[in-house]
Structure 1
Amino acid sequence: MAKSVVVLSTLDTKGRETAFLKEQIEHDGCRAILCDIGVVGSPTIKADITREQLAEAGGTPLAELLKDATREKAAPVMVKGAAKLIGEMIKQGEAHAVIGLGGTQGTSSATGVMRQLPYGFPKLMVSTCAAGDTSAFVGIKDIMMMFSVSDILGLNPFMRKVLANAAGAACGMANIDEEKVAASNKPLIGMSNLGVLTKGAEVAVEYLESKGYEVIMFHAVGAGGRAMEQMMREGLITGVFDYAMGEISDELHHALRAGGPERLTVAGKLGLPQVLVPGGSEHIGLFLAEEHVLPEKYKNHMNTFHSPIIAAPRLNPDELVEVAKEIGKRLQYTKGDAVMMLPLRGTSRYGVEGGPLRNPESDKTYYAAIKASLPKTIEVVEKDLGPEDPAFVKECCDRLIGLIEAKKKK
């Protein structure tokens, strides 16, 4: 049976282009389901999912939206409705990929729908905006952005090639044998990591896999931590090895790796087993306007450069106490099934013996503040090891496995 690709487009302004895309999808062996996310103009081709259906599913009839038609008012309704209807189709096995066409407005609406669809479901956005900063469109979801180069306005040899390529990509993803690729009966561990902890992360992956688990690693630079916690909400993750907490330090200091206000709260709220390490949180990540030029505010801090345009100043003891308090505040939701592991020889490769940010006295102050700030429901274990030492990492893994196994027996 042919797989189905949902096409998100404004059929009043992009009817010709959408019709060509539909032809290409069907030429490639899939079924195209046209979903009209337009509001004001009249559709120039027939939709399979009409704008009336989207508006109704979004909670406001189209006639009501048209009484005072503004993008600000209509777009959220259409996005909500499309996400609801496509989500239902996915659950019923009636949709296997989604592709969007758009400029600024169309991209905002189509990716707004895509961000509400499950991880792993193919999402492709053909956009005039894909050559710039796409973070607002992608968010923390696995959305593929394809730059249309020219405006999506009219058909010409180049635009036909772009749309044909997009159709091929969407159909290719829709036809992947998902059961063969993604199926697993092994529990999945979500793990955060930073470059200054990668050797330890590699030990953890190998060790956990040897114990019958699979690991999904997240680069803890803001979006990574948020994506890990979204996967927790979606029920994809069994337990959490939160090995890197630089996202908390950077959140307080408005720096590169800021993880947002919910970071560190989700596992506790969900009751997921978790092992925590304040890895990489002794420093922050600063994006520099000029190579190797440190802002005045941090010139009196210990410092190293992660790259020519990313500085890593170590926070001073008072600043680290504030980070510790914030960690404790966020972990108040954790009522058990959690262990805080403290590597006494430093919190990252930068902070161990020989590292450019080594400061044992400051570490002691930081760890004391963490212990004082944590809820009593979290066990604290101190080890005279570095954060990447295999013995430390393996004990973290063993303790997480113990928490997971104990939870199974409850």
Structure 2
Amino acid sequence: MPKTIAILVTLDTKDQEAAYLKDQIESKGDNALIMDIGVIGTAGITADLSRESIAEAGGTPLQHILENPTREAAGPIMVKGSIALLQKLITEDRVHAVLGLGGTQGTTSCCNIMQALPYGFPKIMVSTVASGDTSSFVGIKDITMMFSVSDILKLNPFTRKVLSNAAAAACGMAQTGSVFEQQKSDKPLIGISNLGVITKGTIKAIEHFNAKGYEVIVFHAVGSGGRAMEQMMKEGIIGAVFDYAMGEIADDVWKVLRAGGPERLTVAGKLGLPQVLCPGGAEHLGILVPENEVPEAYTDHDHVFHSPIVFVPRLNAQEMEQVADSICERLQHTQGNAYFLLPLQGVGDYSKPGGALEDKVSDAAFFARIKEKLPKGITLMERDAYIEDTEFVTEAADLLISLIEKQ
């Protein structure tokens, strides 16, 4: 069956590109729906969804925007209107993929729109800035970024090839027939946070949950991963949490690589979801550096290089207390329905007995602070085990299952 690809574009500057994309999509047997998110210039071709209709859906008539037009004022209105129209079309099964074109401003607007669309819905952004740091554009949604290489400013032989590839990708994604939806079950989908230093334990947890009839989604706890896990909690996709990795909290205290943001570790408590918490990877930081270069501020810290450009310093006792304080403060929203397990023999591969960053004094300070400040509604359990030990992982997983089955 033919699918419909929505094209997000400013037709005052990218009319040729939009027309070419439309032809490419239709040549593959699918339909194109051009949405004009421009405001000021004259559209070079006719849109299927006009800028007037998008502005109206955004809550402000276009004529009012044009009375004193600025990008700062117009952008949010066109984004809001596009989101409203696309969400309706997606719900009605009338749009099956979205494809955006843009430079810096266009990429910002298109990606803001895409970030509001459902997980699993195909989203492709052809952008002049897709070769750099795209984290602010992608956020925590599954947006595919395609670097245009040349500027997106009228057609040429190379641009035609890039746009042809983008059209083919959008049509292919729309035609897969695969839909992201949780299978009907009386068992909730479990979210698991993970880091490389505790992956063996995570695999054991996955296998144990699967054996008990539960499906899981694992998130790499590098900032975006933890935030995505919590967004899926908000959207009702994830119904229980095995929060096995807390490196995002340590990095957030120092605002470095894996920083999870101020909301991290608060959402499950606010929603009352069953959760089991373990401080995996919370004893070190991840810091981007020039290859194999030790930052001046950490020359007095034990350290390793996780990769040539990811520097990993071991936190000392005082710094570990700061991490514990942040963890406990975030968990104030959790008033029950939760266990916190302390693995006294180490919270990750670097700090286990014999590990490169083993430091029992620092560990002891961290554990003592957690015990002192953890909210009373959370059940604290200490185990003389390493975080990846089979017995530890199995007990933690079974505790989460017990919380789920009490609901």
Per the TM superposition, whether the score is higher than 0.5 is: yes
Q: Mapping of 1:259-278 within 5 angstroms?
A: 259-278=260-279
Q: Which amino acid aligns with 2:131?
A: A
In structure 2, distance between residues paired with 1:221 and 1:396? 22
2:134 counterpart residue number: 134
Per the alignment, residue 210 of structure 2 pairs with 209
What stretches of structure 1 move > 3 A for 4+ residues in a row? none
| Alpha-carbon displacement from aligned partner over 1:249-301 (angstroms, at most 9, x marks no partner) | 11111211111110001111111111100110011111113x33222221222
Tell me the equivalent position of 1:344.
Answer: 344
2:401 corresponds in structure 1 to 401
1:165, distance to aligned residue in structure 2 (A) = 1.1
Counting aligned pairs with the same residue, the percent is 59
Q: Distance in 2 between matches of 1:376 and 1:57?
A: 47
Deviations 1:14-49 (A, max 9, x none): 111101101111111211111110000111111111
Aligned match of 1:235: 236
Tell me by how many angstroms 1:183 deviates: 5.3
Pairing 1:178–2:174 present: no
Secondary structure at 2:113's aligned position in 1?
helix
Q: Is 1:327–1:373's contact at 8 Å kept on the other side of the alignment? A: no
SS at match of 2:155: coil
Question: In structure 2, what residue type is equivalent to 1:296?
Answer: E
Counterpart position of 1:189: 190
Moved more, 145-154 or 237-246: 145-154
Partner residue in 2 for 1:14: 14
Q: Structure 1 length normalisation: TM-score?
A: 0.96
Partner of 2:372: 372
C-alpha distance in 2 between matches for 1:204 and 1:273: 16
Which residue is equivalent to 1:154?
154
Say whether residues 1:26 and 2:26 are aligned partners. yes
Provide the rounded CA distance (Å) in 2 between the counterparts of 1:52 and 1:22. Answer: 21
Contact 2:315–2:362 under 8 Å retained in 1: no
The Cα shift of 1:57 comes to: 1.4
Q: Residue 313 of structure 2: SS of its match in structure 1?
A: coil
- Secondary structure of 1:38's counterpart equals coil
Aligned residues: 405
**Which residue is 2:258 aligned to?**
257
Work out the CA distance in 1 between the residues paired with 2:163 and 2:101: 9
- Pairing of 1:384-395 with structure 2 (within 5 A): 384-395=384-395
Query: 1:283 maps to what in 2?
Result: 284
Residue 226 of structure 1 pairs with residue 227 of structure 2: yes
Instruction: Report the residue type matching 2:18 in the other structure.
Output: T
Q: In 1, distance between residues paired with 2:381 and 2:394?
A: 14
User: Cα gap change, 1:246/1:183 in structure 2, threshold over 3 Å: closer, same or farther?
Assistant: closer
Deviations 1:221-256 (A, max 9, x none): 111111111111111101111100011111111211
Distance between the aligned counterparts of 1:245 and 1:54, measured in 2? 42
Q: Secondary structure at the match of 1:67?
A: coil
| TM-score, normalisation: structure 2 | 0.97
Note the C-alpha offset of 1:220: 0.7
Tell me how far apart the structure 2 counterparts of residues 184 and 17 of structure 1 sit (CA, whole Å): 40
The residue type equivalent to 2:78 in the other structure is M
Distance 1:318 1:24 in 2: 60
Cα distance in structure 2, aligned partners of 1:309 and 1:170: 34
* Mapped contact 2:182–2:237 kept (Cα < 8 A): no
Once residues 27 and 394 of structure 2 are traced to their aligned partners in structure 1, the CA distance between those partners, rounded to angstroms, is 52
CA–CA separation in structure 1 for the residues paired with 2:29 and 2:389: 52
* 3-state SS of paired residue (2:375): coil
Where does residue 354 of structure 1 map in the other structure? 354
SS in 2 for 1:335: coil
Letter of the 1:215 counterpart = V
Matched residues in 2 for 1:161 and 1:356: separation? Answer: 50
Structure 2 CA distance, aligned partners of 1:304 and 1:150?
Answer: 40
> What whole-Å deviation, never above 9, does each CA across 1:133-190 have from its counterpart, x for those lacking one?
11111111100011111112222222222111111100111111225x7552353111
Compute the displacement of 1:302 (Å): 2.0
Matched position secondary structure for 1:361: helix
Supply the AA of the counterpart residue of 1:63: Q
Q: Secondary structure at the match of 1:178?
A: coil
User: Equivalents in 2 of 1:283, 1:26: separation in Å?
Assistant: 53
The gaps in structure 2 that reach 5 residues or longer are none
Question: How well do the aligned residues superpose, as a CA RMSD in angstroms?
Answer: 1.3
Q: Distance in 2 between matches of 1:81 and 1:360?
A: 56
Taking the aligned partners of 1:28 and 1:402, their CA distance within structure 2 comes to 51
The residue matched to 2:284 in structure 1 has which SS?
coil
Q: How far is the alpha carbon of 1:377 from its aligned partner?
A: 0.7
Q: Deviations over 1:23-78 (max 9, x none)?
A: 11111121111111000011111111111111111122111111111111111110
Once the 2 structures are TM-superposed, how far is the Cα of residue 93 of structure 1 from its aligned partner? 1.3
Q: Secondary structure at the match of 2:66?
A: helix
**Matched AA of 1:227:** A
Separation in 1, partners of 2:245, 2:289? 22
Contact 2:221 2:248 in 1 (8 A): yes
The structure-2 alpha-carbon separation of the partners of 1:82 and 1:395, relative to structure 1 and needing over 3 Å to count, comes to: same
